[in-house]
Amino acid sequence: MADMATGTVVARTIDGAGKAEHGARDDHRGDCLNCGTALIGPHCHRCGQSAHVHRTASALFHDIAHGVFHFEGRTWHTLPLLFWRPGELTRRYIRGERITFVSPMALFLFSVFLMVAVFGLVGGPFGPMRLQGDPVKLAEARTEAAKELAGVEKRIATLAAEKQARNARGEKTPDLNEQLGDLRSEQAALRLVTTGQIRPPKADDVEGLKLNIDTGVPAIDLAFRHLTRNPELTAYKMQSTAYKFSWALIPISLPFIWLLFAFRRDVGLYDHAVFATYSLSAMTLMVIGASVLAGIGISLSLTFFLMVFFPPWHMYRQLKGAYGLSGFGAFWRMVALILSAYTAALIFVVMLLAMGA
């Protein structure tokens, strides 16, 4: 709930919402308390601040409730169009209908924070990543992991001290850096095993995953080696940290969308950015819906159906409506956009791996 509230506050800040204050009065004399401009109405015509600035606890709680649960009412104009007529929403926003709808970035930020909150409560669309199985065996696995963790932390302390001593002598330590990186990855995995957040790795996990990849980028190569040793840890960390950099999907997607309309002179990067941000918001909200369905016990087949068929259906409708395309023009661009989305997702994952996520 805290993540959802935070997301709403951030979204409202980005969207410029919340200028009206609770309990505004009809008497609008004097100067604006924010910029000093003479008031001629209920809001300052220069900076937009309300003429009345409340200082009561009840008004503060009203603002909180209004921000979390109402979101200026524009949400209820935006969401139906986002899911049923996304092309119309995109086109109308680009053409200048801004006050009626939640802005693309505000909606995207809110949906990302809401997704984090939902994942924390019910897990992802295919369930939470938790230990399952015989409680006795799981308890034994945790005890064993705790013993291994103590040994790993002791080795980390020894190597860290050696690295510090060699650095003091002006010596380079690439070998120690790699060893410490491997040990810290193992340390993180063991900590998650001891808390029950991931299951103990099995021999088959590592044997069945051979990644002989040499990209020439040390950070990426090291990340792939960690993925081979601890695939479940990597998946857990990706799920836990991807939302922090989810905004990067927007600039990553823009070149692919631009290529689909490279010869159109009536649309530009701003139009594509609005399209991409609304599209990503819809996909994020779809994942949230699928997660809630999985959390309340709805069949996984329905969740799978939603995850597979909603994106192309939504992309087709948004492309056709936003850019005024024919059915065929929207269809082939939808196919190309789906392939581009997979490419953008791969770039995003590699970026996270390179950053050490």
SS3 state of residue 124: strand
Name the stretches of the chain with pLDDT < 50: 17-26, 129-132, 202-211, 357
Answer whether 0.85 is exceeded by the pTM.
no
Residues 6+ apart with CB under 8 A from 34: 44, 47, 49
Q: What is the pLDDT of residue 294?
A: 79
Q: What is the pLDDT of residue 66?
A: 62
| Rounded CA separation 189/12 (Å) | 37
Q: What is the pLDDT of residue 135?
A: 61
| Rounded CA separation 122/111 (Å) | 16
| Rounded CA separation 321/94 (Å) | 12
Q: What is the pLDDT of residue 306?
A: 84
Sign of CA dihedral 67, 70, 75, 79: positive
Q: What is the pLDDT of residue 290?
A: 86
Beta bridge partners of 127: 124
217-247 per-position pLDDT tens digit: 555 566 566 555 555 555 656 666 677 788 8
- Per the prediction, the chain carries an average pLDDT of 76
SS3 state of residue 189: helix
Q: What is the pLDDT of residue 220?
A: 56
DSSP string spanning 8-52? HHHHHHHHT---S-TT--S---SB-TTT-PBP-SSB-TTT--BS-
Distances (CA, A) of 64 to 10, 21, 22, 136: 13, 12, 11, 46
| Rounded CA separation 39/272 (Å) | 39
Q: What is the pLDDT of residue 333?
A: 95
Closest CA to 197 of 227, 155, 156, 239: 239
Strands (E), the chain: none
Q: What is the pLDDT of residue 72?
A: 58
Q: What is the pLDDT of residue 24?
A: 42
284-331 per-position pLDDT tens digit: 999 888 888 877 877 777 778 888 899 999 999 999 999 999 999 999
Q: What is the pLDDT of residue 172?
A: 81
Q: What is the pLDDT of residue 285?
A: 92
